[in-house]
Amino acid sequence: MNKRYRLVQTLCWVMLASGVTTSWQPVFAQEQPAVAPSEDLTITIVEGDGGINNIKKGIATKPVVEVHDRNKRPLAGALVTFTLPNYGASGTFADGSQVLSVATDAAGRASAVLRPNGVAGQFKIDIRASFQGHTAATSITQTNTVAGAAAGSSAAAAAAAGHSHLLIIAIAVGAAVAGGIAAGVELSGGSGPVKTAAPSGTIGAPGTPTVGAP
């Protein structure tokens, strides 16, 4: 009885050990897939950040970004999505939407043409880039104004012109005052009475007079 029990017990242990080995063998023998190199993305803002948009003329600063890979090289074919706010100061893209997706060119650049809406104020353009499952995000800040950047330049030019006119007037007044003072000094004769000039004529040289023949 004891021998049979020990035999059964031994067979169980053998079967258990065989089963564990068999179950784990495929795991160790399985070929693991190769891991693709990581493509970390970065977005560099080239143009458009801090742009001033003219509501009256419907002109806005074009946002331009550049996408780079993990080695800081321009990445072509990355998908860049520009998103404008749904309310408040904002705008629309050329197709009338507020979301635009553009693929980067050979230089890794993507841009968007937009038109400001009628609301003045500051807003942000959200920018997201994606490539082969990797993503990056940033934003650009712009401002909608009624007059735009041109109005600021015109105001500065007008102020400069006003200063120039004031300077010209000051110079003219100073010249007039100086001329009046000079005229007063000439009429008063300086510190003494006005002298009368002697009549013009020729005066001979001093010496013994000579009498000519009759």
- Output the domain CATH number for residue 80: 2.60.40.10
Is 73's pLDDT higher than 70? yes
With respect to residue 13, please indicate whether it lies within any of the assigned structural domains. Answer: no
Residues 113 and 168 in one domain: no
As a whole-number percent, the residues of the chain with pLDDT over 70 amount to 51
With respect to residue 190, please indicate whether it lies within any of the assigned structural domains. Answer: no
Q: What is the pLDDT of residues 79-137, one digit of tens each?
A: 999 999 999 999 999 999 999 999 999 999 999 999 999 999 999 999 999 999 999 99
Residues 158 and 93 in one domain: no
**Nearest alpha carbon to residue 68 among 107, 33, 100, 19:** 107
Residue 121 · residue 136 · CB < 8 Å:
no
Write the CB contacts of 171 (distance below 8 Å, at least 6 apart in sequence): none
With respect to residue 194, please indicate whether it lies within any of the assigned structural domains. Answer: no
Residues 73 and 111 in one domain: yes
Residues 115 and 102 in one domain: yes
Residues 141 and 167 in one domain: no
Task: Give how many domains the chain has, as a whole number.
Answer: 2
As a whole-number percent, the residues of the chain with pLDDT over 90 amount to 50
Q: Residue range 15-23: average pLDDT?
A: 53
Residues 59 and 94 in one domain: yes
With respect to residue 108, please indicate whether it lies within any of the assigned structural domains. Answer: yes
Q: Residue range 63-88: average pLDDT?
A: 96
With respect to residue 135, please indicate whether it lies within any of the assigned structural domains. Answer: yes
Domain of residue 72 covers 42-146
Final residue belonging to a domain, choices 103, 124, 146: 146
Taking the whole predicted model, whether its pTM rises above 0.85 is answered as no
Residues 117 and 166 in one domain: no
Q: What is the pLDDT of residues 138-164, one digit of tens each?
A: 999 999 999 855 444 444 444 555 555
Residues 64 and 89 in one domain: yes
Residue 111 · residue 62 · CB < 8 Å:
yes
Q: Residue range 38-67: average pLDDT?
A: 93
